[in-house]
Amino acid sequence: MTNALTVSDLTLTFPDGTDRITALDHVNLRVRGGEIAAITGPSGSGKSTLLATVSTLLRPDSGRVELETESGTVDLAALSRRDAATLRRESIGIVFQQSNLVPALTAVEQLEAMVHLGQTWFVSPARRREARSRARDLLDAVGLAGHADKRPAQLSGGQRQRVNIARALMNDPSLLVIDEPTSALDQERGAAVIDLIVGIVREHRAATLLVTHDRAHLHQMDTVHRMVDGVLSLESEALAA
């Protein structure tokens, strides 16, 4: 079974005084493994809320978020907080708009830390060596082989975003959610980051949602969806074919 994400009738509201605001209005979406679905739309339309809900950071009022993996299919919207946190660590890679790197850690240590999250028992030396090897391989894959021992302050904005992407891949996720990866980058570095994401998604076969305001890269996406006031509609598909 290949990785795939199916969002069905997803609805989320927030309290607003005595009323409620609809952030996600019966959203439907399907993304197969190795494909990228771009989400566009004006600020405040619900794009980042959709990413947060799909990645279990927010719980919807109703609807389903089904993630298909080799192990089977699970409804992410129905998981308990503890189970959601576990699945998020093991199966979901999140690339935030800001890199959110730990200032004191080197690039390779940022990735290694992902392996140890949630561990309450002793991590064997063999497991540590395995994590270090995978972290270095991923940094090499994103073009940062020579920067593994640098801390965030020693890296450019584009390099920090590359570390961010490599970190999201550390646990070989079935689902990738990426929020505005080029917003803090100039056009050349932004194009390089999009090329990197496309290549990695094809190779790792992760079902991917990518929120962007930059329409210059939409021709590289498999589908393009537009969100307005919490309503998601298909704008175009098979652009990357």
Q: What is the pLDDT of residues 112-143, one digit of tens each?
A: 988 777 555 566 788 788 889 999 999 998 88
Greatest mean pLDDT among 1-5, 62-66, 98-102, 156-160 lies in 62-66
Say which residue, 236 or 228, is predicted with more confidence.
228
Q: How far apart are CA 147 and CA 172, in angstroms?
A: 22
Exposed e or buried b per residue across 106-121, where buried means at least 16 C-beta atoms within 10 angstroms of its C-beta: bbbbbbbebbeeeeee
The overall average pLDDT reported for the chain is 90
Nearest to 200 by CA among 34, 81, 63: 34
Task: Please compute the mean of the pLDDT values over residues 180-198 and round it to a whole number.
Answer: 86
Q: How far apart are CA 74 and CA 3, in angstroms?
A: 12
CB 213 within 8 A of CB 183: yes
Q: Identify the pLDDT of residue 122.
A: 62
Length of the chain as a residue count: 241
Instruction: Encode pLDDT of 201-229 as tens digits.
Output: 998 899 999 999 888 899 999 999 999 99
Task: Please compute the mean of the pLDDT values over residues 53-67 and round it to a whole number.
Answer: 96
Model confidence band, residue 25 (pLDDT cutoffs 50, 70, 90): very high
Q: How far apart are CA 234 and CA 39, in angstroms?
A: 9
Query: Cβ–Cβ contacts within 10 Å for residue 2, how many?
Result: 12
Q: Identify the pLDDT of residue 30.
A: 96
Nearest to 76 by CA among 209, 217, 221, 229: 209
Q: How far apart are CA 200 and CA 59, in angstroms?
A: 28
Q: How far apart are CA 52 and CA 24, in angstroms?
A: 11
Q: Identify the pLDDT of residue 118.
A: 57
Query: Per-residue pLDDT for 1 more than 60?
Result: no
Q: What is the CATH number of domain 4-237?
A: 3.40.50.300
Q: Identify the pLDDT of residue 115.
A: 78
Model confidence band, residue 190 (pLDDT cutoffs 50, 70, 90): confident
Give Cβ neighbours of residue 177 (< 8 Å, ≥ 6 apart): 51, 54, 55, 92, 93, 94, 95, 208, 209, 210
Task: Please compute the mean of the pLDDT values over residues 162-182 and round it to a whole number.
Answer: 91
Query: Cβ–Cβ contacts within 10 Å for residue 231, how many?
Result: 15
Name the DSSP letter for residue 34: T
Query: Cβ–Cβ contacts within 10 Å for residue 163, how many?
Result: 26
Task: Please compute the mean of the pLDDT values over residues 73-92 and round it to a whole number.
Answer: 93
Query: Per-residue pLDDT for 165 more than 70?
Result: yes
Q: Identify the pLDDT of residue 123.
A: 66
Query: Per-residue pLDDT for 40 more than 70?
Result: yes
- Tell me the domain boundaries of the chain: 4-237
